[in-house]
Amino acid sequence: MEVYNDYNNGAPRRLYRSNNRMLGGVCAGVAEYLNIDPTVARVVAIVLFFTPFIPALLIYLFMCLLVPNKPM
């Protein structure tokens, strides 16, 4: 599924790790992709880290490895 928006002339949005990073840039990258505040994404990630049924830390580490850095 590709998401299109107006500010990039109809090109599909891509998920990148952000340069506005605390650790790996994953939460900030997801926040940029969803057009929300990075603090909200970070708080949600912290809450999910303490949820026993969701392996959020493992997902975060995989995203650090698989999601490319944002091009300059």
pLDDT: which is higher, 44 or 3: 44
What does the alpha-carbon distance between residue 62 and residue 30 come to, in Å, rounded to a whole number? 14
pLDDT in tens, 47-59: 998 988 888 888 8
pTM flag (> 0.85): no
Q: Say yes or no to pLDDT of 46 above 80.
A: yes
pLDDT at 2: 53
pLDDT classification of 43: cutoffs 50, 70, 90: very high
pLDDT at 4: 52
